[in-house]
Copies of this chain bind each other. A is one copy, B any other.
Amino acid sequence: MNTSIFIVDDHFMVIEGIRTILQDEAHIDWLGHAMDVASCLEFLSRHQPHVILMDIGLPDGSGIDLCKKVAKTYPKIKILGLSTYNQQSIIQDMMRSGSSGYLLKNASKEELLEAIEAVMNGEEYLCLEAAASFYNPENSVPVITKREKEILGLICDGYTNPEIADKLFISLATANTHRKSLLAKFGAKNVASLVKMAVENKAFL
């Protein structure tokens, strides 16, 4: 049986590229594309492809959320994350949100076809580079609690301890404790390096 494919990506050039790559493949049917979350969901209400190639950064929402929604509503559809970002935290989020694989946009034709085949067989697939970065402790993001994530966001936005305490109705000591455990978990010596790591890994979203 043929595999039907749908793609959600706001980059016209990438859509054209993938279409060109896939049109030579006899066993793959190209169902079309969407360039935002809304039209993707609209399409899915009418047709269900076997596989969706899904970009992370869409204009009207994140691919992570779309991924969750699709995985819940159409559990049979296999989702392949697609992004230029080779960041452990994002890959992790995608895989946890129900995607079955992750491809970088510099993936080769072989990787693309391999990924599609893998997820159709019920396997998980990470492209080479993503897998490498995934297991590279360099890119690893520590596990932080919900509260810590919240406070990390405030720190990144320039809030000081007293301001955080005020905003969250907690004592200065507590705000400080959270800040300290963030520093410890990230292995950062001060807020500067903490914020850099957080922003680079989008750890506070």
**Chain A residues at the B interface, C-beta cutoff of 8 Å:** 10-21, 35, 84, 105-109, 112, 155-160, 188-193, 195-196, 199-200
A105, A157, A192: residue with the most chain B Cβ atoms closer than 10 Å:
A192
30 contacts between A and B (CB under 8 A): A11-B84, A11-B105, A11-B106, A12-B107, A12-B108, A13-B13, A13-B14, A13-B18, A13-B21, A13-B105, A13-B106, A13-B107, A14-B17, A16-B16, A16-B17, A16-B18, A16-B20, A17-B18, A17-B20, A156-B192, A157-B193, A157-B196, A158-B188, A158-B189, A158-B190, A158-B192, A159-B192, A195-B195, A195-B196, A199-B199
Shortest A203–chain B CB gap in Å is: 12
A12 with B109, Cβ < 8 A, contacts A17-B17, A19-B20, A199-B200 known: yes
Q: Which residue of B lies closest to A15 (CB)?
A: B17
Q: Are A195 and B188 interface neighbours, CB within 8 A? A: no
Q: Are B12 and A14 interface neighbours, CB within 8 A? A: no
At the interface, is chain A mostly helix, strand, loop or mixed? helix
Shortest A200–chain B CB gap in Å is: 6
Query: CA of A170 to CA of B158 in the docked complex: distance in angstroms?
Result: 28
Q: Which residue of B lies closest to A111 (CB)?
A: B12
Which of B13, B16, B109, B191 sits near A192, CB closer than 8 Å?
Answer: B191
Q: Which residue of B lies closest to A16 (CB)?
A: B17
Q: Are B84 and A193 interface neighbours, CB within 8 A? A: no
